Amino acid sequence: MKNKALFVCHNCGYQSPKWMGKCPDCNSWNTIHEEVVAKSKIPAALTGAEAFPLPISEVSASAEQRIPCCIEEFDRVLGGGLVSGSLVLIGGDPGIGKSTLLLQVMNNLAMRNEPVLYVSGEESAQQIRLRGSRMGVDQKQLYLLAETSLEKILAQVGRLKPKALVVDSIQTVFTDGVESAPGSVSQVRETAGRLMLLAKGSGLPVFLVGHVTKDGSIAGPRVLEHMVDTVLYFEGDSGHPYRILRAVKNRFGSTNEIGVFEMKEGGLQEVQNPSELFLSERPIGVSGSLVIATVEGSRPLLVELQALVSSSSFGVPRRTTIGVDHNRLALLVAVLEKKVGLSLSGQDIFLNVAGGVRLNEPAADLGMALAVASSHLDRVIDPQTLVLGEVGLAGEVRAITQPDQRVREAAKLGFTRCIFPAGSKKHVNVPGMELIGVRTLEEALERLF
């Protein structure tokens, strides 16, 4: 078969017979490059044996065996531990701690007195060794390999027969079966496919480290995220030592779990009580600050919301958010103006979630609206008050999920009052907590102040 040239978008994998400045699929500029597309040499079967269809009742339903990584936060995000034959993709900004975390995980797996292999295409073995020395990584069963050729990596895997494999990063690995440069869409798709067959055929758990684009998504074709079993994103701000590991896809567990880590000189240290950590530097006696409870997977998490409302010096007032949806804030401001009567049309409004946490659930609505009202009215909210609830366009406060878990987590940290939807009050029974059920946003403001 004669190889042919195509123009491929390095951001989303879109293919075109001619060059274009803007990708019509992902709307990215200057991401389409010419590549030589060759016929794939990947075998069609996951294993050497031929597969036959079976009735679903005859397929074994036993639970998969979990391999603990001895890092509770990491095991929680994976769904209880590492599954044999799983393919895990970890993405994040440069320097966020992806390699550090995986080096610690592989060191713990090597404590089982079984070989594990860490392959790096970006650093030499000496560089990894120096970083490992600072972190106390010194297990003899942890093997390092600085290599970018997929064929040579597979040969070493066949010789060593490790119990776990890390490829850091997938964008640096290339195969001789594809003529394009390492990091191209064709190379990433081909090498990831070969590693997937290795994981499924031999039961070897494989970790892939992926670079991210400017918008935060993993670089390479979108099919890369479809091929793997688990996609993890490492989030954090370079100005904060805290890191959040979030699962956005997991075939073996929940996709809502998060793990919280703190970057220290000796590597990443897991945070057992993130709620206490996020509230440790909370200011007391200032307006615009309150605490809400969000649920990430099976864990309730208390975070601080901060709002600042000031007179605008421009014709169009600013609406700036960090950690919450910008459109959600605009909606809540409109409800405050229409249903409560607050005059916010000429005010700059800034809303921030302290600690770098991102809120995606509607249970934060009431807290966002009350934080804005508190700053606008310059009224201080009792620091021992928790606020929960979803706000509708009519100003009503709607019920939320798992209210009992949220309130109990707040009670552990010394909170004594909770303002939340009246429809959720029947599901909550926490001794020592004053429970105030409200039906409208206006009623919540009256009870709060």
The per-residue pLDDT for range 70-126, each reduced to its tens digit, is 999 999 999 889 999 999 999 988 888 999 999 999 999 999 999 999 999 999 999
Which residues have C-beta within 8 Å of that of residue 285, sequence separation ≥ 6?
380, 383
Using the 8-state DSSP alphabet, how is residue 440 labeled?
A: B
Mean of pLDDT values over 323-348:
94
Residue 163 annotated as binding site: no
Residue matched to tokens 């993890």: 232
The contacts of residue 316 (CB under 8 Å, 6+ apart) are none
Strand bridging mode 397-398 / 390-391 = antiparallel
Please tell me whether 317 is known to bind a ligand.
no
Task: Please determine, for residue 409, whether its predicted confidence score (pLDDT) is greater than 80.
Answer: yes
Q: Is 95 annotated as a binding residue?
A: yes
Distance CA 276, CA 261 (A): 13
The answer to whether the annotation marks 253 as part of a ligand binding site is no
**∠ at Cα 152 (122, 187), nearest 5°?**
65
- Mean pLDDT in the chain? 88
Least confident of 10-24, 27-41, 230-244, 314-328: 27-41
At 275 the pLDDT is: 87
Are the C-beta atoms of residues 135 and 269 closer than 8 Å to each other? Answer: no
Q: Is 96 annotated as a binding residue?
A: yes
**pLDDT given at position 371:** 96
Across the strands, what pairs with 418?
A: 386, 435
- At 220, is the pLDDT very low, low, confident or very high (cuts 50, 70, 90)? low
Burial 111-122 (b: 16+ CB within 10 A, else e): eeeebbbbbbbe
Return the closest-CA partner of residue 9 out of 23, 237, 317: 23
Burial of 53 (0-12, 13-18, 19+ CB in 10 A): exposed
CA-to-CA separations, 157 to 90, 117, 130, 153, in angstroms, rounded = 21, 8, 24, 6
Residue 201, marked binder? no
Q: Are the C-beta atoms of residues 141 and 115 closer than 8 Å to each other?
A: yes
Cis peptide before 40 (omega within 30 of 0): no
How would residue 254 be classed by pLDDT, with cut points 50, 70 and 90? Answer: confident
For residue 427, the model assigns a pLDDT of: 87
Q: How far is CA 71 from the centre of its chain?
A: 17
What value does the mean pLDDT take over residues 394-405? 94
362 φ/ψ sector (left φ>0, alpha ψ -120 to 50, else beta): alpha
Selection from 389, 385, 340 nearest residue 364 by Cα: 389
39 is in an annotated binding site: no
Q: Check pLDDT > 60 for residue 39.
A: no
CA distance 386 to 302: 9
92 in a labelled binding site: yes
Q: Would the pLDDT of 177 be above 70?
A: yes
Q: What's the pLDDT score for residue 44?
A: 46
DSSP string, 355-369: TS----SGGGHHHHH
Dist. CA 7–CA 114, nearest whole Å: 45
Q: What are the DSSP E strand ranges found in 190-288?
A: 206-210, 230-236, 242-250, 258-264, 267-270
Q: With CA atoms as reference, report the closest residue to 17 among 32, 38, 1.
A: 32
